[in-house]
């Protein structure tokens, strides 16, 4: 089978090398003095919707590649020039490459130029062949939300209480920010995204089947693209926002961009105060072997946290010549965080008599810092393009947890029974390098290839002290020092080819993984080491067929094989305490698991997208809960196989001129088979999710939106979660000649986004749980843009190569 696949792949490459060209529109812009116009904004429009944007280069040239059949128009603006709009430009089988005559921009009448504003409102959701694009700015309430809340409102994305992000039913999603991984554990990533204001987001790219140039890790990919001022001259954006529920939040954000001559400088930074509460109500029931009730524990956990995030990001692009650009990017973030947790448990006998009351609290203080340096290079040859990125990423964290427990027969006279403290020291260093090469071939074909290497060193030192007031010598029996090192080397090839109506893409990625874990010995504990070394091939294939000559109706099919590696800290057997009766720990025996997925789709313009898919995985990682002497222990484990069938419908249309609607419906059927706690796991879980987004244009300067979200009953992390729904919306007023806006948002209007569920496959034990947080909020934000509206950023993409490793710290 492998030989047949390689034969077909090589045949396809040879065909591509002898055949191919992509559909394109290109041209040159000059002024009335026959001089090149450099830095003009060129917008490619279709049906009043922005398809793509470019800027004219050092010789006034622009080009749009990889287009589909259809009718387009060009909108061109430039400082000191009048706005230009082209006639209709049609691409079809007879006209696949349009090279336009020289476009002459006329000078503006006034020496004091008035700003030209083109209103081409982006839809909330755009469909591409291999990804879905969500334009975050089309969400009125995004400026008052953090990034986690934006993700939860996005059709197809869900986040469970452990911080695991799912996309269209696929778990272990790889999250990128501007094409780079964050190298964090699931919970650390969630904490980071909670501190990242929604006002900083430009768009989300959702990829169920990522092409070969992306890392093979993760069941799917979510690429969070941050806003960039793509403007000529000095421009910027400022955002001020407040949000109030039970807790109070603020965010202040400033972005600056300056372009002059060959250098483009950009910087943004801000401050955000985050706060939330998280309450969990547990009814724990313990049984004997015959199924009779032994005892019942009512446990309440209340958590309040606050953080003060400070971040700055700055860099430059320098054009060496008309075809070469180099750049540098610096990023720094600091998030000091405090948490206060209280718990109370009431233990009842089998005849419902109160035996005892236990209570306690813990205080956590944690200071987290991130530094990142990126060097990048882009060179355009006559037809081909070569890019390279080098990264250094560093994370440091210092923190402590004070824990105290009290026991009593009643609440009147509690007696301290246990007090201890942990000190956490963590440091992560990551080095990555990648290079990508693309070359357009004859007759609508494209060849791509690339390499990547990454080195990760993760050092976690946790020290346990039995007395708050005596931190001289730790308790080595309960302390932990874990070092993890990983090296991944990868190479890929990818090719695309378009015939008259048929298009195809084949890719092959090779990855070698070498990892080492070291639980360091101390005075009373003998440590151990483990290693893993494996090499895998990951094929991807896409095929689409246009049912009509204009390409309005397209059907397609895709296949991919991917890997899900454990997060770095999931290997660490260190105990993290939630309360006196619950803790979580890692598992050094974890292994990666693989997923194979096939998906078909039907797309009609940007209005309708239907998808049906099937995936299969073996040895998936699940957090398993078990009861050991009335203590609840949770650890990640390779436990079962998973088969997943999915179907989705995404429909966007205008009910009227002022009312635009997006319907997103997903149906999923998951089959889990395996063994948990010596019990057979056989879960059959049909579920569906529904997302309805309404966008209203109330007048020239007023707009609003309202969204309804519903989840049916579903299985997640050894628990069945009951159905839930949420409604949210907002209203926006443009001010200051459309340069500014004021937005008022309402979150979880009916306070229904609570999580209720019960565990399954826990031996002689059952949990009924309700979780709630500060989800009902009202927010107010002010946004102001200054400067000229012109595209500036020269690099075609902002991926720097740290795509996989950041999501797993």
Output the pLDDT for position 7.
42
Please report, rounded to a whole number, the percentage of residues in the chain having pLDDT higher than 90.
Answer: 40
Q: What is the 3-state secondary structure (H, E, C) of 351-396?
A: CCCEEEEEEEEEEEEEEEEEEEEEEEEEEECCCCEEEEEEEEEEEE
pLDDT over threshold 60, residue 119 = no
Decide which of 237 and 7 is more confident. Answer: 237
- Min mean pLDDT across 6-20, 90-104, 286-300, 783-797 is at 6-20
How many whole angstroms separate alpha carbon 104 and alpha carbon 29? 6
Contacts of 318 (CB under 8 A, 6+ apart): 262, 263, 264, 325, 326, 327
Output the pLDDT for position 468.
66
Output the pLDDT for position 141.
63
Tokens 């070394």 belong to: 533
What secondary structure letter does DSSP report for 138? Answer: G
Q: What is the 3-state secondary structure (H, E, C) of 65-127?
A: CCCCCEEEEEEEECCCECCEECCCEEEECCECEEECCCEEECECCCCCCCCCCCCCCCCCEEE
Contacts of 742 (CB under 8 A, 6+ apart): 732, 733, 735, 780, 781, 782, 783
Q: What is the pLDDT of residues 384-430, one digit of tens each?
A: 999 999 999 999 999 998 888 877 766 666 666 778 888 989 999 99
Q: What is the 3-state secondary structure (H, E, C) of 254-281?
A: EEEEEEECCEEEEEEEEEEEEEEEEEEE
Contacts of 178 (CB under 8 A, 6+ apart): 223, 224, 225, 226, 798, 799, 800
pLDDT-based confidence at residue 471 (cuts at 50, 70, 90): low
Output the pLDDT for position 516.
95
pLDDT-based confidence at residue 253 (cuts at 50, 70, 90): confident
Output the pLDDT for position 115.
40
How many whole angstroms separate alpha carbon 225 and alpha carbon 204? 6
- Output phi, psi for 187, to 5 deg: -70, -40
User: What is the 3-state composition of the chain as percent helix, strand, coil, each rounded to the nearest 5?
Assistant: 5, 65, 30
Output the pLDDT for position 185.
66
pLDDT over threshold 80, residue 126 = no
Across the range 654-680, mean pLDDT stands at 89
Across the range 520-536, mean pLDDT stands at 91
Output the pLDDT for position 237.
86
How many angstroms separate the first and last alpha carbons of the chain? Answer: 36
What secondary structure letter does DSSP report for 192? Answer: H
Across the range 624-640, mean pLDDT stands at 84
Cα separations (Å) of 730 from 145, 247, 749, 753, 778? 11, 20, 11, 18, 9
Mean pLDDT of the chain: 84
Output the pLDDT for position 805.
47
Question: Which structure tokens are listed for 270?
Answer: 């801000």
How many whole angstroms separate alpha carbon 156 and alpha carbon 414? 48
Across the range 561-576, mean pLDDT stands at 86
Output the pLDDT for position 111.
40
Output the pLDDT for position 31.
81
Radius of gyration in angstroms for the set of CA atoms belonging to the chain, rounded to a whole number:
28
Cα dihedral across residues 7, 9, 12, 13: positive or negative: negative
Decide which of 75 and 66 is more confident. Answer: 75
Output the pLDDT for position 296.
92
Identify the bridge partners of residue 242 per DSSP, sorted by sequence position. 250, 780
- Say how far residue 663 (Cα) sits from the centre of its chain: 22
Closest by CA to 719, choosing from 756, 686, 684, 692, is 756
Across the range 236-247, mean pLDDT stands at 92
pLDDT-based confidence at residue 377 (cuts at 50, 70, 90): very high
pLDDT-based confidence at residue 572 (cuts at 50, 70, 90): confident
Pairing of strands 97-99, 24-31: parallel
Output the pLDDT for position 170.
75
Question: Which structure tokens are listed for 278?
Answer: 């998280």
Output the pLDDT for position 228.
65
pLDDT over threshold 50, residue 715 = yes
pLDDT over threshold 80, residue 362 = yes
Length of the chain: 809
Output the pLDDT for position 727.
96
Output the pLDDT for position 99.
84
pLDDT over threshold 80, residue 6 = no
pLDDT over threshold 60, residue 316 = yes
Output the pLDDT for position 556.
92
Q: What is the pLDDT of residues 753-801, one digit of tens each?
A: 999 999 887 778 889 999 999 999 999 999 898 875 443 333 333 444 4
Closest by CA to 120, choosing from 105, 137, 132, 103, is 137
pLDDT over threshold 70, residue 9 = no
How many whole angstroms separate alpha carbon 741 and alpha carbon 146? 18
How many whole angstroms separate alpha carbon 297 and alpha carbon 229? 55
pLDDT-based confidence at residue 78 (cuts at 50, 70, 90): confident
Q: What is the pLDDT of residues 193-202, one digit of tens each?
A: 876 777 778 8
Closest by CA to 636, choosing from 726, 573, 696, is 573
């Amino acid at each position: 089978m492998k030989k047949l696949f390689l034969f077909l792949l090589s045949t396809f490459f040879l065909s591509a090398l002898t055949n191919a060209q992509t559909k394109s529109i290109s041209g040159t812009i000059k002024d009335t003095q026959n001089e090149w116009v450099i830095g003009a904004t060129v917008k490619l429009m279709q049906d009043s919707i922005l398809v793509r944007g470019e800027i004219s280069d050092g010789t006034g040239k622009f080009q749009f590649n990889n287009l589909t059949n259809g009718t387009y128009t060009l909108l061109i603006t430039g400082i000191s020039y009048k706005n230009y709009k082209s006639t209709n430009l049609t691409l079809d089988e007879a006209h696949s490459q349009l090279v336009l005559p020289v476009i002459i921009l006329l000078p503006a009448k006034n020496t004091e130029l008035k700003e030209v504003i083109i209103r081409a409102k982006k839809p909330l959701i755009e469909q591409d062949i291999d990804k879905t694009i969500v334009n975050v700015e089309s969400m009125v309430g995004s400026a008052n939300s953090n990034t986690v809340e934006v993700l939860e409102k996005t059709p197809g994305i869900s986040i469970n209480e452990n911080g695991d992000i799912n996309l269209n039913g696929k778990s272990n999603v790889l999250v990128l920010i501007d094409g780079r991984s964050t190298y964090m554990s699931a919970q650390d990533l969630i904490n980071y995204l909670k501190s990242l204001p929604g006002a900083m987001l430009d768009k989300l790219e959702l990829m169920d089947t990522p092409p070969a140039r992306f890392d093979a890790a993760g069941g799917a990919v979510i690429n969070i693209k941050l806003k960039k001022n793509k403007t000529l001259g000095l421009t910027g954006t400022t955002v001020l926002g407040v949000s109030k529920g039970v807790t109070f939040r603020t965010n202040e954000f400033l972005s600056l961009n300056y372009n002059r001559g060959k250098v483009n400088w950009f910087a943004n930074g801000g401050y955000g105060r985050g706060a939330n509460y998280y309450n969990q109500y547990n009814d724990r029931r313990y049984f004997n072997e015959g199924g009779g009730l032994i005892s019942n524990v009512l446990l309440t956990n209340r958590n309040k946290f606050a953080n003060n995030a400070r971040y700055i990001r700055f860099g430059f692009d320098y054009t060496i010549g008309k075809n070469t650009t180099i750049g540098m990017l610096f990023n720094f973030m600091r998030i000091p965080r405090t948490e206060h947790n209280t718990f109370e448990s009431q233990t009842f006998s089998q005849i419902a008599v109160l035996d005892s009351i236990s209570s306690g609290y813990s205080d956590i203080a944690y200071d987290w810092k991130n530094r990142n340096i990126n060097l990048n290079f882009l060179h355009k040859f006559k037809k081909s393009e070569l890019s390279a990125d080098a990264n250094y990423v560093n994370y440091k964290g210092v923190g402590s947890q004070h824990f105290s427990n009290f026991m009593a027969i009643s609440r009147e006279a509690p007696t301290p029974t246990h007090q201890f403290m942990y000190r956490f020291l963590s440091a992560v260093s990551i080095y990555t390098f990648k290079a990508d090469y693309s070359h357009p071939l004859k007759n609508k074909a494209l060849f791509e290839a690339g390499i990547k290497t990454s080195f990760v060193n993760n050092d976690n030192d946790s020290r346990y002290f039995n007395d708050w007031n005596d931190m001289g010598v730790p308790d080595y029996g309960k302390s932990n020092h874990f070092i993890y090192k990983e090296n991944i080397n990868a190479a890929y090839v990818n090719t695309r080819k378009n015939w008259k109506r048929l298009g195809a893409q084949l890719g092959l990625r090779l990855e070698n993984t070498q990892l080492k874990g070291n639980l360091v010995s101390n005075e009373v504990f003998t440590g151990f080491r483990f290693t893993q070394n494996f090499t895998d091939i990951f094929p991807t294939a896409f095929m689409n067929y246009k049912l009509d000559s204009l390409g309005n109706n397209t059907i397609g099919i895709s296949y991919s094989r991917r890997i899900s590696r454990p997060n770095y800290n999931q290997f660490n057997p260190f105990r993290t305490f939630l309360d006196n009766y619950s803790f979580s720990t890692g598992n050094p025996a974890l292994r990666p698991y693989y997923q194979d997925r096939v998906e078909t789709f039907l797309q009609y313009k940007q209005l309708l997208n239907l998808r049906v898919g099937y995936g299969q995985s073996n040895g998936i990682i699940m957090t398993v809960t078990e009861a050991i002497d009335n203590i609840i222990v949770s650890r990640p484990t390779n436990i079962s196989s998973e088969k997943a069938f999915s179907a989705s419908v995404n429909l966007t249309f205008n009910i009227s001129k002022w009312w635009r609607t997006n319907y997103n419906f997903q149906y999923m059927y998951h089959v889990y088979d395996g063994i948990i706690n010596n019990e057979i796991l056989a879960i059959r879980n049909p579920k569906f999710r529904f997302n309805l987004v309404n966008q209203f244009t109330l007048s020239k300067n007023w707009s609003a939106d309202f969204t309804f979200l519903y989840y049916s009953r579903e299985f997640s992390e050894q628990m069945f979660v009951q159905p839930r729904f949420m409604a949210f919306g907002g209203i926006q007023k443009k001010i200051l000649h459309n340069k500014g806006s004021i937005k008022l948002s309402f979150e979880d209007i009916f306070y229904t986004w609570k999580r209720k569920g019960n565990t399954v496959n826990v031996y002689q034990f059952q949990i009924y749980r309700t979780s709630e947080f500060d989800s009902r909020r009202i927010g107010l934000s002010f946004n102001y843009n200054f400067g000229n509206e012109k595209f500036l950023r020269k690099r075609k993409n902002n991926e720097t190569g740290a795509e996989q490793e950041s999501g797993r710290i």
